[in-house]
Amino acid sequence: MPSIFSRIVAGELPAYKVAEDEHHLAFLDITPLVEGHTLVIPKKEVDYIFDLPPAELAALHQFAQRVAKGVKAAVPCRRIGVAVIGLEVPHAHIHLIPMNKVADMNFANPKIKVAEERMKELAAAIAAQVPAAEGEAAPVPLESKAERETAASSPAAEAPADAAADSTLEQLRQLTEGLYFVSESDSPLAVVSYQAPAGELDAQELLKLLNQPADTPVQTQELTHFLRNHTADDGVLGNVELANRFKALQMFLKQELEDVKVYRIGKGPQLDAYALGRTPGGKLAGFKVTLIET
């Protein structure tokens, strides 16, 4: 099973790219410590960074050096901190972290949430500042989620909103195929889609969409917390490949949908949980599972 990063390299998952060459890729971390937190990876999937041959390890750091210059030029900071952790994703990667104090590098700090528009701005600003490698032409803009959306808004490439929604649902179907949520029983992940209300999605609006009684209890939960036992390599699935698939699904939902939340509908011992966010086409999309909690 390819790592999440290999799927980004292959174009199967989106990313806020900031630099790329034949053998390396750099993109913004979607759960950053600070704004501008960037990941640098070799395109070849190698779990442990120090298993890379010496020449490839040196080339990765040389690429990271250029990216770091771009990050520092685009994001106000004193230095760019460098870290290699290597436990979360089984694909070698370097963290480049804008820092003004040592505490900015503490991975025990709560991760921040950066709005999508701001992520687009940061990616574009960093990409514009990454210097070309010696002997190369100046870098050209990279294809990213932001650029795809900009291109899609031009008259020559305009497509119906339903087409974008259908594409999102198809990707969700691929990502959830064969996945089960484990509570006290296993529940398959079912892709769902609804027409989003014009205003905020509150409990009453959601219950109307689901044809549930108005007094049905509704609890909200953050997606990362809801999936925490399924994205952990040593979680309830007992399978690193399945955990990586849940990580890929989580990343997709957070990058492609807005305001993603998990809504727990009803009371135990059996209740339904919906992970939903807004698509660019104005719909709600995500997945549903049935939980057994006694």
Antiparallel, parallel or unpaired: β 17-20 and 38-42: unpaired
**SS3 of residue 287 by DSSP:** strand
Rounded distance between C-alpha atoms, residue 286 and residue 273, angstroms: 11
Antiparallel, parallel or unpaired: β 218-221 and 17-20: unpaired
Lookup: tokens for 219:
């609890």
24 is catalytic: no
Q: Are 147 and 127 in contact (CB under 8 A)?
A: no
The CA distances from residue 256 to 47, 48, 259, 280, 294, in Å, are 27, 29, 10, 8, 34
**SS3 of residue 36 by DSSP:** coil
**From 24, 37, 91, 93, the catalytic residue:** 93
Q: In the block, which residue shows the tokens 């050209």?
A: 140
Antiparallel, parallel or unpaired: β 180-182 and 94-99: unpaired
Q: Are 244 and 189 in contact (CB under 8 A)?
A: no
Rounded distance between C-alpha atoms, residue 5 and residue 47, angstroms: 11
Question: Residue 135: left if φ>0, alpha if ψ -120 to 50, beta else—which one?
Answer: left
Residues known to be catalytic: 93
